[in-house]
Structure formats: structure tokens, C-alpha cells
């Protein structure tokens, strides 16, 4: 049974999404439990697989029994095992959390929303688990197209923002496909492991260089790396709040994972960091991404919009950390990838809770939020601490590795950008908490500063948020084990 786990991870959510679509027509009340069951099966197979991979090393699964270079294989090592588990767990938490708000905003389109969410998760899981470059493209587009549709379900400007995302996203995917075409011309294979071994002999080829650059541009478009980030803030701000809790934490992170996978195991660190000589340029781009993201985040007056710029900063961290090209930098990038899934999840779940009770989440509307929604705001404080990088939370540990990497590489620009953006995040969140904690909402409360009415979101929304917030601390405490057990084994021994 356990040898079929890699296939189950993709097949179960795929079939569940069709089931949920169908149930939406005649038994709407069953959509939620059916989807939850599907996600639970996927999550337990992910965790089972992760445990197996940590104990006995990487697992290769041949779909349909076709041998590796010709058929499609699923390859799971600790790197994508970890990402798979993070995607499944955060998608399950989001699924439980989104129940009340989906019932409130989407009672007429329940089946469509749940079905698309499930299909989106399928795409992400498939992208993470696959070991085939073209298969990755197809699953990337499954995830992207469902994301366009999900974002467009929002009110107001959502459809326009989503259309802009369609343009940028499609160009990104096409660039990736073009690069895969060049790789196929040069090597005649699409299997990642096979490509990796064949490319070692082709380091001086111009076509490979073009393929590399085109693939990187495509992936950067999809992950919203700085100059190519135009679509992200609008798309994630105008998405319906249950949806942004799913897409915002996962899409960019999985794209960062794809970049790390392709650079480490297809082109190889020797090619990326030594042969090409692009690493300095990309690092400075990451520095600009972090600084510009921080500056633009400072200019925002809406909590949700501010958080979208925080995502841009985090993408800058991960891309920059990876391109430092040394062991600490790559460890930091991978660890930050894992941490950032839960930090962003926590942040957007908290915003969703606020939006459930408050008319909006501009800073002015957050006045007195601490006394009304103490649990939600408490979780938001934990998230803020983690994003700033305060020790017991996980954000500190990944940032520590990134700083170490920057010091070892002697890249003081990146070091400065990291410290600058940490200080800016402190200011960013302090502004929010100042409004929410110290400013009372109206004159009634001003007369009686100790009387307040609790207006917390439903338990179903608060509990997943608190679990995710506890996860931030747990990830921080366990970060030593994560690095030694999961991150170290996947970094090639040639990287120092």
C-alpha cells in the first residue's frame, strides 16, 4: 500500500474536486465534509511519505509502470516531502477555517468555490511531487487557471485584477514552456533527473543558457519577484477573503520551491553559481526587491494590501538567500520557504477573521480590534513577531541562516537589506497594533475604558488560526531538527 502514496497525493484531491463540483448541484451541505475527507487523506499520505523518506531516503514512483526517461515519474525527497506536507496541512486548516465565511459569501456558489479550491490544491501538490519538466508545466497551469477563477469570484475590482494576473501568469508559464523546449532540443529528455545528468556535459552551450534565463524569467513572473510583481498586490487584495487565505500562502511558495528544485537538481549548483556568473546580478535584484517591497508596504493604509507587499519582501528573501550560493544561504531559503507558508497563512487567516466581523481592514477601521477580537489579534501579533524575526518564532531561525549566508558570501548589500526590512516590518506592524490596541473605537468606550464587548469570529475560524499560530512557535523550536533531518540531505555536497 505505501508504495502508492505518491500517486494518492495527487489522485485523491483530483477526484475529490470532481466529487465536490457534483455535490454542489444537489447536496450542498456535503461539499464541506467531502472536501475535508479528501484533504485529510492527502495530508496523511503526505506525512506518511515524509516519514518514510526521512527514514529510508528518496522515493521514486513510476506512473503506469513506465520506466524513468520515457514515462512520468513522481520523485519525493525530503525537500518536496516537506513542501507537500506544508501545502496539505495549510490547505486543510484553511478548508476548516473558510467554512463560515464561504457559507456567508458564497452560499449560492458553494460547489464551484470548493471544487476550484480543491483543484488548486491538486495543481500545487502535483507540481511539487512531479519529477518531469513538462508535467510540471501542466500542473502549474492547472493551479494558475483555478487561481484566476477563484480570484475573479471576489467583489468590486476582482475581475480586472484577475485578468491582469491572467496576462502575466500566462506569459510566465509560456516562458517556462519555451525553456523546457530548448532543454528538450539539447538533451532529448524531459525527466528532471535525466536532464540533470545530461546537462553536466553541456555547460558551455548557448542554448542551455537561453533555456536557463527563459525558465528563470517564467518562474519569477509566477512568484512575483520584484520587477515582475505587478499582478500580485491587486490580485491578492481583491480576492475574496476565504480564497486569499489559500492562494496567498501557497502559490508563490510553491513557485520558489520549483525554482530551487530546477536550479539544484536540473541545472546544478555548479552551473548556476559558477559557470553563469549571474548570481551577483540576481542578488542585487533581490536586494532591490526587498527594499522596494518594504518601502511600498510602508505606503499602504490597508492591512491586507500591506501584507501582499510583505509577501513580495519574503519572495526577495528566498530568491536572494538561494542565490547566495552557499550552504547557509540555501538552508535559509528552504527553511524560510517552509516558515513563510505558515506565516502568510496565519496572517491571511487573521485578516479573514477581521473582515468577517469588521467592515474592512484599513488601519482606521481596526480601532479597538484588540478588545473586540483578542484571539485573532493575538495570533496576528505572533505572526508579526515571526515576520520581524523574534527568537521563539520560526521567522528568526530562517533569517539567522540567511544572515549567516550573506556574511559568508560577503554580500553586505543583502545583509543590509535583510536588517532594513526587518526594521521596516517592525514599524509596519507597530502602526497596526497602535491603532488596534491604544485607540478606542468611539466615545462610549472612552468613558468606560474597561468595558468592552467581545465580538470574536466563530470558533471554527479562530481555532485553525490559533493552531497555525502555535505552529509558528513549534516550527521555530523544531528548526534544528528540520535543518538536520530534511534540509541538509537535499543540498548537494558540492555546495559549501
Partner 1 sequence: MENFLQLLIAKYNYWIYITLMMIGLFGVIAKNNLVKKIVGMSIFQTAIILFFVSMGMKKGATIPIVLHDHGAPSPVQAVDYINPLPHVLMLTAIVVAVSTLGVALALAVKVYKKYGTLEEDEILEQIRNS
**Binding-site ranges for partner 1 (CB under 8 A):** 134, 137-138, 141, 145, 148-149, 152, 157, 159-160, 162-163, 166-167, 170-171, 173-174, 177-178, 181, 184-185
Return the ∠ at Cα 72 (arms to 69 and 76), rounded to 5°: 100
Compare residues 41 and 138 and give the one whose CB is closer to partner 1: 138
Compare residues 184 and 452 and give the one whose CB is closer to partner 1: 184
Query: Which positions ≥6 away from 390 have C-beta within 8 Å?
Result: 396
Compare residues 11 and 186 and give the one whose CB is closer to partner 1: 186
Compare residues 62 and 103 and give the one whose CB is closer to partner 1: 62
Min CB(35)–partner 1 separation in Å: 22
Compare residues 141 and 194 and give the one whose CB is closer to partner 1: 141
Per the CB < 8 A criterion, the answer to whether 110 and 23 are in contact is: no
Query: Greatest CA span in the chain, whole angstroms?
Result: 77
Compare residues 173 and 315 and give the one whose CB is closer to partner 1: 173
Min CB(205)–partner 1 separation in Å: 16
Min CB(169)–partner 1 separation in Å: 9
Please report, for residues 16, 96, 110, the alpha-carbon distance to residue 33 in angstroms, rounded to integers and kept in the order given. Answer: 11, 9, 13
- d(C-alpha 322, C-alpha 254), whole Å: 14
Min CB(216)–partner 1 separation in Å: 17
Compare residues 251 and 402 and give the one whose CB is closer to partner 1: 251
Min CB(219)–partner 1 separation in Å: 16
Helix (H, G, I), strand (E, B) or coil at 468: helix
Compare residues 69 and 416 and give the one whose CB is closer to partner 1: 69
- d(C-alpha 491, C-alpha 255), whole Å: 18
Helix (H) or strand (E) holding 351: helix 327-357
Min CB(59)–partner 1 separation in Å: 26
Min CB(348)–partner 1 separation in Å: 23
Task: Please give the DSSP secondary-structure letter assigned to residue 29.
Answer: G
159 burial level (CB within 10 Å; 0-12, 13-18, 19+)? middle
Compare residues 138 and 473 and give the one whose CB is closer to partner 1: 138
Min CB(487)–partner 1 separation in Å: 33
Q: How many CB atoms lie within 10 A of CB 427?
A: 12
Min CB(89)–partner 1 separation in Å: 29
For helices 327-357 and 241-262, angle between their N-to-C axes, nearest 10 degrees: 170
Compare residues 127 and 373 and give the one whose CB is closer to partner 1: 127
Compare residues 170 and 362 and give the one whose CB is closer to partner 1: 170
DSSP lists the bridge partners of residue 73 as 62
Min CB(106)–partner 1 separation in Å: 16
- d(C-alpha 175, C-alpha 164), whole Å: 17
- d(C-alpha 38, C-alpha 12), whole Å: 6
Min CB(218)–partner 1 separation in Å: 11
Min CB(167)–partner 1 separation in Å: 5
Helix, strand and coil content of the chain, in percent to the nearest 5, comes to: 80, 5, 15
Quick one: which of 232, 249, 411, 268 has its CA closest to 332?
Answer: 411
DSSP string, 154-196: SSTTHHHHHHHHHHHHHHHHHHHHHHHHHHHHHHS--BHHHHH
Compare residues 182 and 397 and give the one whose CB is closer to partner 1: 182
Quick one: which of 327, 302, 476 has its CA closest to 387?
Answer: 476
- d(C-alpha 456, C-alpha 271), whole Å: 53
Helix (H) or strand (E) holding 60: strand 59-62
Grid cell at residue 343: 506565516
Compare residues 240 and 316 and give the one whose CB is closer to partner 1: 240
Please report, for residues 18, 57, 298, 325, 420, the alpha-carbon distance to residue 291 in angstroms, rounded to integers and kept in the order given. Answer: 43, 39, 11, 21, 8
Min CB(173)–partner 1 separation in Å: 8
Helix (H) or strand (E) holding 62: strand 59-62
- d(C-alpha 323, C-alpha 23), whole Å: 46
Amino acid at each position: 500500500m505505501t508504495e502508492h502514496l505518491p500517486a494518492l497525493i495527487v489522485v485523491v484531491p483530483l477526484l475529490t474536486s470532481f466529487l465536490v463540483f457534483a455535490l454542489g448541484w444537489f447536496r450542498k451541505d456535503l461539499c464541506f465534509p467531502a472536501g475535508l475527507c479528501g484533504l485529510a487523506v492527502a495530508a496523511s499520505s503526505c506525512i506518511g511519505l515524509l516519514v518514510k523518506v526521512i527514514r529510508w531516503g528518496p522515493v521514486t514512483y513510476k506512473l503506469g509502470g513506465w520506466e524513468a526517461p520515457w514515462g512520468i515519474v513522481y520523485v519525493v525527497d525530503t525537500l518536496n516531502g516537506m513542501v507537500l506536507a506544508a501545502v496539505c496541512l495549510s490547505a486543510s486548516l484553511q478548508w476548516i477555517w473558510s467554512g463560515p465565511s464561504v457559507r456567508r459569501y458564497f452560499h449560492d456558489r458553494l460547489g464551484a468555490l470548493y471544487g476550484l479550491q480543491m483543484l488548486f490544491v491538486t495543481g500545487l501538490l502535483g507540481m511539487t511531487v512531479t519529477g518531469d519538466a513538462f508535467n510540471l508545466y501542466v500542473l502549474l497551469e492547472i493551479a494558475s487557471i483555478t487561481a484566476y477563477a477563484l480570484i475573479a469570484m471576489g467583489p468590486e475590482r476582482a475581475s480586472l485584477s484577475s485578468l491582469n494576473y491572467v496576462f502575466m501568469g500566462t506569459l510566465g508559464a509560456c516562458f517556462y514552456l519555451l525553456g523546457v523546449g530548448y532543454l528538450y532540443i539539447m538533451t532529448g529528455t524531459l525527466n528532471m533527473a535525466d536532464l540533470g545528468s545530461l546537462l553536466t556535459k553541456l555547460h558551455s552551450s548557448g542554448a542551455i543558457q537561453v533555456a536557463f534565463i527563459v525558465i528563470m524569467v517564467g518562474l519569477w513572473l509566477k512568484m512575483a519577484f520584484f520587477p515582475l510583481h505587478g499582478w500580485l498586490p491587486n490580485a491578492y487584495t481583491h480576492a475574496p477573503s476565504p480564497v486569499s487565505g489559500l492562494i496567498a500562502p501557497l502559490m508563490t511558495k510553491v513557485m520558489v520551491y520549483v525554482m530551487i528544485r530546477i536550479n539544484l537538481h536540473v541545472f546544478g549548483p555548479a552551473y548556476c553559481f559558477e559557470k553563469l556568473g549571474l548570481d551577483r546580478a540576481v542578488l542585487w535584484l533581490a536586494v532591490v526587491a526587498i527594499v522596494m517591497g518594504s518601502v511600498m508596504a510602508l505606503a499602504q493604509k490597508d492591512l491586507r494590501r500591506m501584507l501582499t507587499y510583505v509577501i513580495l519582501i519574503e519572495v526577495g528573501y528566498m530568491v536572494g538567500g538561494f542565490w547566495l550560493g552557499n550552504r547557509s544561504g540555501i538552508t535559509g531559503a528552504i527553511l524560510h520557504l517552509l516558515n513563510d507558508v505558515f506565516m502568510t497563512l496565519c496572517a491571511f487567516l487573521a485578516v479573514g477573521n477581521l473582515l468577517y466581523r469588521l467592515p474592512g481592514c484599513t488601519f482606521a477601521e481596526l480601532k479597538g480590534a484588540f478588545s473586540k477580537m483578542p484571539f485573532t489579534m493575538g495570533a496576528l501579533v505572533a505572526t508579526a513577531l515571526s515576520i520581524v524575526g523574534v527568537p521563539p518564532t520560526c521567522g528568526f531561525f530562517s533569517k539567522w541562516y540567511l544572515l549567516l549566508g550573506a556574511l559568508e558570501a560577503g554580500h553586505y548589500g543583502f545583509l543590509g537589506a535583510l536588517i532594513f526590512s526587518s526594521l521596516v516590518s517592525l514599524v509596519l506592524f507597530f502602526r497596526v497594533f497602535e491603532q488596534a490596541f491604544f485607540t478606542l473605537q468611539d466615545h462610549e468606550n472612552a468613558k468606560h475604558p474597561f468595558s468592552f464587548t467581545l465580538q470574536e469570529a466563530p470558533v471554527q475560524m479562530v481555532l485553525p488560526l490559533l493552531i497555525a499560530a502555535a505552529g509558528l512557535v513549534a516550527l521555530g523550536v523544531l528548526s534544528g531538527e528540520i535543518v538536520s533531518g530534511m534540509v541538509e540531505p537535499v543540498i548537494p555536497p558540492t555546495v559549501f
